[in-house]
Amino acid sequence: MKALITGITGFAGSHLADYIVENHPDVEVYGIIRWRSRRENIEHLEGRIKLVEGDIRDYISVKKVLEEVRPDLIFHLAAQSFVPTSWRAPQETLTTNILGQTNIFEAVRELGLSPSIQIAGSSEEYGLVKEDEVPIKETNPLRPLSPYAVSKIAQDFLGYQYFMSYRMNIVRTRGFNHTGPRRGEVFVCSNFAKQIVEIEKGIRPPVIKVGNLDAVRDFTDVRDMVRGYWLAATRGEAGEVYNLCSGRGYKISEVLQNLLSLSRAKVKVEQDPSRLRPSDVPVLIGDYSKFKERTGWEPRIPFEKTLEDLLNYWRERI
């Protein structure tokens, strides 16, 4: 069996490759890679995965990759995934996320392939959630507050539409926040962890820059998240959509306190106005019972362990 991962050099993609290599040795793992992509997240997998050059924004190259690999499973994780970038460059976010996915679907169709495809949607799709709608179920209205969220809704609904129109085996996941080692430094937990480690090492004055600390997010360890992606593709019901989350909400101020409690650094907290967003989703806490019922999935790694691993990741790198 062959699995193709888009976004394999990224955070979730590299962890998914680790998961498949370790747990499903009968599966050949392929990844799409752009020629200028950084490879540090997958260097340790050299010889155990196969990389094929391509760019999801370019239909011809997507078709060439799919023709060469002919995958049984596709995990579509490549995306512009940082919410603030989507206000600075909405066109780029919409192109990469929506057209990128359409290129994959069209190439699958044109080549007559029938892989199971997992689409990485996001809790950002829910956007403005009302107090009485928490924990959020898949049936909740979608009220997007960023171009990124709109792009993920488009991906999500294209997944539904291609299933309905062509009976393609598409399973949509709505992943809530996830973090852990290798997380890009712009995302909140990783950003705070990196600043704390820089303060520990004396290369940054003891002041942590932060954005909106009042937002509430539901965090899952990336290693649990990618196990969920695997289960979605292999045991999810085609055409369906599933929340992947922990069901527990943390205020971002709590996340900061948790990280600080794992360090000896003494810090002052300072708000940096450039970190505030035109509209920030106030609360995201999910309900994963639909996915649990179908696949048995539950997150296993406690948030404290995830944060500790993240701090240690930065301690090793800085």
Contact pick of 143, 248, 251, 277 for ligand GDD (by CB under 6 A) = 277
Note whether 28 and 52 are within 8 A (CB): no
What's the chain's Rg over C-alpha atoms? 19
Q: Which stretch binds ligand GDD (CB under 6 A): 45-53, 121-129, 130-138, 231-239?
A: 121-129
Part in contact with ligand GDD (CB under 6 A); list of ranges 20-28, 119-127, 300-308, 309-317:
119-127
Please report the DSSP string for 242-302 in residue order: EEE--S--EEHHHHHHHHHHTS----EEEE-GGG--SS---B--B--HHHHHHH-----S-
Cβ proximity to ligand GDD, 215 vs 259, nearer residue = 215
> Does residue number 32 form part of the binding site for ligand GDD (CB under 6 A)?
no
| Nearer residue to ligand GDD within complex by CB, 82 or 166 | 82
The only residue of 6, 122, 243, 306 in contact with ligand GDD, by rule CB under 6 A: 122
Go through 120-132 and write b for each residue having 16 or more CB atoms within 10 A of its CB, e for each that does not.
Answer: bbbbbbbbebeee
| Contact pick of 169, 191, 220, 295 for ligand GDD (by CB under 6 A) | 191
Q: Considering the rule CB under 6 A, would residue 210 count as an interface residue with ligand GDD?
A: yes
Distance of CA 183 to the CA centre of its chain: 10
Task: Report how many residues bind ligand GDD under the rule CB under 6 A.
Answer: 23
Q: Does 212 bind ligand GDD (CB under 6 A)?
A: yes
Specify the residue, 103 or 177, whose C-beta has the smaller distance to ligand GDD: 177
> Which of residues 211, 228, 247, 249 is near ligand GDD by CB under 6 A?
211
User: Cβ(32)–Cβ(6) under 8 Å?
Assistant: yes
User: For residues 242 and 171, what is the distance between their CA atoms, to the nearest angstrom?
Assistant: 8
Within 13 A of 248's CA, how many CA atoms are on the CB side?
A: 15
Q: Which helix (H) or strand (E) covers residue 222, if one does?
A: helix 222-235
Interacting positions 238-267 with ligand GDD (CB under 6 A): 252
Mark the segment that binds ligand GDD (CB under 6 A) among 94-102, 108-116, 181-189, 290-298: 181-189
Query: Restricting to residues 137-166, which ones interact with ligand GDD according to CB under 6 A?
Result: none
DSSP secondary structure string, 282-297?
-B--B--HHHHHHH--
Spatial separation of the C-alpha atoms in residues 156 and 97, rounded to whole Å? 11
Residue closer to ligand GDD by CB (options 217, 227) is 217
CA distance 151 to 86: 9
Q: Which residues bind ligand GDD (CB under 6 A)?
A: 81, 83, 122-124, 175-177, 186-188, 191, 210-213, 215, 217, 252, 275, 277, 280, 284
